Amino acid sequence: MKKFLCVFMTLILCLGAFTGCGGSKSSGENGTLYVYCFGDYFDPDLQYEFEEKTGYKLVVDLFDTNEEMYPVIKNNTADYDVICASDYMIEKLISEDLLDEINYDNVPNAENVADSIKPFMEAFDPGMKHSLPHTWGTYGIMYNKSMVDEEIDSWDVLWDQNYKDKIVMPNSLRECYMIAAKKLGYSMNTADESQIQEMTQILIDQKPLVYSFANDSAREIMIGDSAAMAVITSGEVIYSKEYNENLEFVIPKEGTEVWTDCWAIPKAAKNKEAAEAWINFMLDGDTAETNFEYLTYAIPNKLIADKMDEAVLNPSKDLLDKCETLRNLGAEADDIYSRYWKKYKAE
Amino acid sequence: MKKVLKGIYLALIILFLYLPIFTLMVLSFNEGKTMNAWTGFSFRWYREMFSNRTIMEALGNTLTIAFWAAAAATVVGVMACIGLNAMKEKHRSFFMGLNNIPLLNADIVTGISLMLSFLLFGISLNYGTVLFAHITFCIPYVILSVMPKFRQLENHTFEAALDLGASPAYAFFKVVLPDIMPGIISGFLLSFTMSVDDFVITHFTRGAGINTLSTLVYSQVKVGIRPTLYALSTVIFAAVFVILILVNIISNKREEKRA
Amino acid sequence: MSKKIFSGPFLAFMLCGTIIPLGVIAYYGITDRSGAFTFENIKAITTGEHWEALMLALMLALISTVICLLIAFPLGLILKDSKLGKKGFMVFIFILPMWMNFLLRTMAWQVLLEKNGIINQVLGFIGLPSLHIINTPAAVVLGMVYDYLPFMILPIYNALIKIDKNVIEAAYDLGAGFRQVLQKVIIPLSVPGIVSGITMGFVPSLTTFAVSNILGGGKVNLIGNIIEHEFTTGSNWNLGAGLSLVMMIFIVISMALIEKFDRNGEGNII
């Protein structure tokens, strides 16, 4: 037994050494760039391309939600040079003075940013001083034509008793309240407690119709024909349709949430130039196209605008006028939402 | 008849335990990205897996962290057993109780409390902090595996060895160690497994550039998990399966020889 | 030189890795965001939705622990007598699933159990009624049983094989039936294993959030989900810490139980 434990250990160590070597072959002639990003959020082949082009070695770390990333940046527990974060989180980081301004001289590709996204960026990062967009999208209703006969164009359908136990809702606080707000005609960034209370009530009324709360797995549930409709982000549509041709997507006429995930540079960055080189690389037309093909999420880049599906990934101006971006509401409002959300989930 | 029923019962439980694993293995050969539609047999994800540097680095980190954490926990754990056994009953049971806390505490509480403590003392998070956290939660498994073996020891053999002129260290390695070896091995293997499977604690205690397989899996939840990770899990699972079977067969043979 | 000194590294790890971090959490638990002292975060457990979530978690954890016990005990008896019941094999077969990532295994259950999932397709194919447990507490219980069954089987099995065969034979010789032997000999002697199996499965089930999120479809709200919510989206770490301090009560109860029934560490997982 002892001997074979030794064999086992050696095997493990060999494997470890093998993969370890594979990873850290060179440290890059211009230094190392630490990227902190949502998992699987750009084509991994781009890593090699970037390293070849710029001579930086790239180390990529991954997180799952903005909330997981936040304490890491706030407490500066690890030194990242460039991060990817969503709109409201960028606003929060800016308000806490955790982000550095981007030097546009080093990011000539910034001019490729699509114009349609700019008003939304202005809302959380005036002048786009601290962030540049990576992906964007809207929330809408994906439905299965074999289970839904009518034309859907409004959030009201989520309250239709005919779809009892057939609706998938997002498992995230702000998105659920966004739906209720749009249905009632409120701003999705309201901090008014009576409005939040009213929204909670209509969400509770709707809860018996919910099949499940799901984020990433919503599309899998839809592909598998297990639910009739799901509130989902536009980026999932191309992918889902590929596997289930009955799926259709619509952005409700009341308007919806436009989200943007952006690149930004933390104050604590050690290699700011490398970070800017990375952002510039990400905004390049070819890179954008590669990422679009890999992710199927909309990339707000002028050079590949024609590649985006008009209806899904490039909504009309009229519709966009009714949309809003998530804002950072501050600790007090967060607490109110949090309290009502727990009530809603406990029902 | 009774034997058949027993067999069926055992088979049902094994089916229950292995059904999801089997599902993932099958899905790793699915051409498409989805879990819900079979679009054809393919090695696509296996090819992608080997060319993905992040995955390979994460595999390396996972294995080295697990190895060093399990090794350190084993050494510390065995030493602890020696020390605890020399203590008074009252003290020993107090420390054994403490030993249960990391086993029973919610992962998220352990993870966040460790992160906060590191920050409090100005320790920047890196490979070392992950390793420290893993050692901490592996030690209890080692102690739980080794302690009973110590209890079964005949204290006289150790003393006899000393009387015969052996140094305490020599007596320990020649007399005590062989007897507690099975406990050490299972403690090591269990620690190793727990370390590989851990996500929450690793997540909160890691620094820049440290991904493990678990953190990789969780980080992909936003955009949906890519089947490359099923492929990787399948490969690891198969490797461990083969190794454990070999260990099992060989140790059986040795036992037969001894008998 | 005393042998006690060898426990030094262990105590150091315990102090730095467990006691100090727990102290930090306790500090967060009894202060508010501004750092002022308060008991609000601990008292919060009695408010409606927190209390409900705790009760639901207690109930589901209890049910899953009982199911685990009912499955594991007969299995232990079968394996005790069978040739397969070799220690290596046992550890092998019940620890091996842990080499597949926990999240992936739980997600695989979701694929299997979905309304139109694999199990229901198979059931439909052979003409059986479909199974509607996904997104209900039943699915969460299934997930808990799945995850913690090995932790119940191994200690029970270990306690069972330690029972001297002669004791059982003696009982039979003295005229006891199988039921009596079970009641008077086997069960009392396997109590340490049962107790450590129960605590190893019960407390982790009580605090789980991943299982209820994935298999409960976000509709089954447990205390673990609330703690996780406070540490992430809710970003109220003080409240999260306060609620986790309440969970420490259950850990302390478990420790006391183990201390009472399993003094000698007989019912160990390995």
Give B171-181 pLDDT, tens digit per residue.
888 888 888 88
pLDDT in tens, B201-212: 888 888 777 888
Here the CATH number for the domain that contains residue C202 is 1.10.3720.10
The amino acid at residue A208 is P
Q: Give the chain B residue whose CA is nearest to the CA of C112.
A: B20
List the beta strands (DSSP E) in chain A.
Answer: 32-38, 57-63, 82-86, 99-100, 131-144, 167-169, 210-213, 229-233, 247-250, 258-266
Q: Residue C198: what are its φ and ψ, rounded to 5°?
A: -65, -45
Q: Is C3 part of a structural domain of the chain? A: no
Q: How confident is the model at residue C50, as a pLDDT?
A: 94
Q: What is the pTM of this model?
A: 0.88
- Position with higher pLDDT, B210 vs B135: B135
CATH, range A33-135+260-313? 3.40.190.10
A271 — pLDDT class (breaks 50, 70, 90): very high
CA A200 to CA A194: how far, in whole Å? 10
**Pick from A100-109, A213-222, C64-73: least confident:** A213-222
CA B65 to centroid of chain Cα atoms: 11
Which of C268, C65, C84, C255 lies closest to C160, judged by CA? C268
The segment(s) of chain A belonging to CATH 3.40.190.10 are 33-135+260-313, 137-257+323-346
pLDDT for A8 equals 58
In a domain, C24, yes or no: no
User: Can you give the pLDDT at residue C84?
Assistant: 61
What is the structure's pLDDT at C35?
A: 84
**Distance separating alpha carbons of residues A52 and A328, to the nearest angstrom:** 38
Look at the domain A137-257+323-346 and name its fold: D-Maltodextrin-Binding Protein; domain 2 (3.40.190)
pLDDT class of A140 with cuts at 50, 70, 90:
very high
3-state secondary structure of C111: helix
| pLDDT band, very low/low/confident/very high, at A182 (cuts 50, 70, 90) | very high
Instruction: Indicate which of C32, C92, C110, C243 best probes the interface with A, i.e. most A CBs within 10 Å of its own CB.
Output: C110
Highest mean pLDDT among B91-105, C86-100, C256-270: B91-105
Q: Which chain C residue lies closest to A68 (C-alpha atoms)?
A: C232
Q: How confident is the model at residue B102 (pLDDT cuts 50, 70, 90)?
A: confident
pLDDT at C68: 95
Cross-chain residue pair C114–A224, CB shorter than 8 Å: yes
Residue C94 has a pLDDT of 83
Per-residue confidence (pLDDT) for residue C109, from 0 to 100:
93
CB C38 within 8 A of CB C29: no
Report the residue from C49, C110, C233 with minimal CB separation from A346. Answer: C49
List b or e across C16-44, with b for residues whose CB sees 16 or more CB atoms inside 10 angstroms.
Answer: bbbebbbebbbbbbbbeeeeeeeeebbeb
Q: Where are the alpha helices (DSSP H) in chain B?
A: 2-27, 44-51, 53-85, 89-104, 107-120, 127-152, 155-163, 168-171, 177-197, 200-205, 213-219, 228-258
DSSP E strand boundaries for A97-194: 99-100, 131-144, 167-169
What superfamily would CATH give domain B43-226? MetI-like (1.10.3720.10)
Find the CB nearest A217 among C48, C110, C226: C110
User: Is the pLDDT score of A212 beyond 50?
Assistant: yes
User: What is the pLDDT, as a whole number, of residue A22?
Assistant: 41
Q: Is A106 helix (H, G, I), strand (E, B) or coil?
A: helix
Look at strands A258-266 and A32-38 and give their pairing. Answer: unpaired
Q: What is the mean pLDDT of chain A?
A: 89
- For B:158-187, CB contacts with C below 8 A are 182-183, 186-187
Burial per residue of C235-248, b for 16 or more beta-carbon CB atoms within 10 angstroms, e otherwise? bbbbbbbbbbbbbb
**B210-232: b (≥16 Cβ within 10 Å) or e:** bbbbbbbbbbbbbbbbbbbbbbb
Chain C CB contacts of B77 under 8 Å are 10
pLDDT band at residue C85 using 50, 70 and 90 as cut-offs: low
* Sign, CA torsion C217/A191/A139/A72: negative
The residue to which tokens 């639901």 are assigned? C56
CA-nearest residue to B224 within chain A is: A216
What percentage of chain A exceeds 70 in pLDDT?
92
Per the listing, tokens 């955790």 go with: A98
- Cα torsion C39, C246, C17, B172 to 10°: value is 140
- The region that residue B209 occupies, defined by phi over 0 for left and psi between -120 and 50 for alpha, beta otherwise, is left
> Which residue range(s) make up the domain with C220?
44-261
Nearest to residue C20, comparing CAs of B228, A27, B101, A237?
B101
Task: Look at residues B240, B205, B200 and name the one whose alpha carbon lies nearest to residue B217.
Answer: B200
A7–chain C nearest CA distance, Å: 17
Q: How far is A335 from chain C (nearest CA, A)?
A: 7
What confidence tier does C61 reach under pLDDT thresholds 50, 70, 90? very high
Out of A70, A173, A212, closest to residue C135 by CB = A212
Tokens of B246: 């070999």
- Judged against a pLDDT cut of 70, whether residue C86 lies above it is answered with no
> Do B17 and C146 lie within an 8 Å CB cutoff?
yes
DSSP assignments along B144-161, one per residue: HHHHHHHHHS-HHHHHHH
Residue with tokens 């678990």: B214
pLDDT tens, residue by residue, A116-133: 899 999 999 999 999 999
pLDDT classification of A6: cutoffs 50, 70, 90: low
- Is the CB of residue C112 less than 8 Å from the CB of residue C214? no
What would the mean pLDDT of C184-208 be, rounded to a whole number?
A: 86
- Flag whether pLDDT at A1 surpasses 50: no
CA distance C150 to chain B (A): 9
* Cβ pair A177, A190 in contact under 8 A: no
Token pair 């620890």 is at which residue?
Answer: C95
> Measured between CA atoms, how close is B46 to chain C, in angstroms?
16
Residue A20 has pLDDT above 50, yes or no: no
| pLDDT tens-digit map of A49-99 | 999 999 999 998 888 888 888 888 887 777 899 999 999 999 999 999 999
Q: Which residue of C has its CA nearest to A344?
A: C49
ipTM of the complex: 0.87
Tokens of A4: 């074979």
Average pLDDT estimate for C58-68: 95
Chain position carrying tokens 């409005």: A195
- Summarize pLDDT for A297-309 with one digit per residue, the tens: 999 999 998 888 7
Residue A86 tokens, joined? 């969503």
Q: Which of residues 241-260 of C touch B (CB under 8 A)?
A: 241, 244, 247-248, 250-251, 254-255, 258-259
Quick check: A192 contacting B, CB < 8 Å?
no
- Higher pLDDT among residues A243 and A9, named by residue: A243
Report the domain count for chain C.
1
Q: How confident is the model at residue B185 (pLDDT cuts 50, 70, 90)?
A: confident
- The number of C-alpha atoms within 13 Å of A32 and in the hemisphere containing its C-beta is 11
Is the pLDDT assigned to residue A296 strictly greater than 80? yes
pLDDT score recorded for residue A74? 85
Confidence grade of residue A25 (pLDDT, cut at 50, 70, 90)? very low
Return the pLDDT at B150: 80
* More confident call, A161 vs A17: A161
- Please classify residue A272 by burial: count the beta carbons closer than 10 Å to its beta carbon, then call 0-12 exposed, 13-18 middle and 19+ buried: middle
User: Which band of pLDDT confidence, cut at 50, 70 and 90, is reported for residue C167?
Assistant: confident
How far apart (Å, rounded) are the C-alpha atoms in residues B13 and C145? 11
Helix residue ranges per DSSP H, chain C: 8-14, 20-29, 40-43, 48-81, 87-95, 102-113, 118-125, 137-161, 165-173, 178-181, 187-189, 191-207, 210-214, 223-231, 237-261
> Are C45 and A339 a contacting pair, CB within 8 Å?
no
Judge whether residue B34 has pLDDT over 70: yes
Find the length of chain C: 270
Separation between Cα atoms, residue A154 and residue C40, nearest integer Å? 42
Is residue C25 predicted with pLDDT exceeding 70?
yes
- Please answer yes or no on whether A346 and C117 come within 8 Å at the CB atom: no
Of A335-344, C1-10, C22-31, the range with the lowest mean pLDDT is C1-10
Question: For the ranges A32-36, A94-98, B145-149, which has the lowest average pLDDT?
Answer: B145-149
Question: Lowest-confidence range among A61-75, A97-111, C121-135?
Answer: A61-75
Least confident window among B153-162, B228-237, C26-35, C100-109:
B153-162
Two tokens, residue C202? 């019960």
Q: Average pLDDT in the A24-30 region?
A: 60
CB B112 within 8 A of CB B203: no
- More confident of the two residues C181 and A78: C181
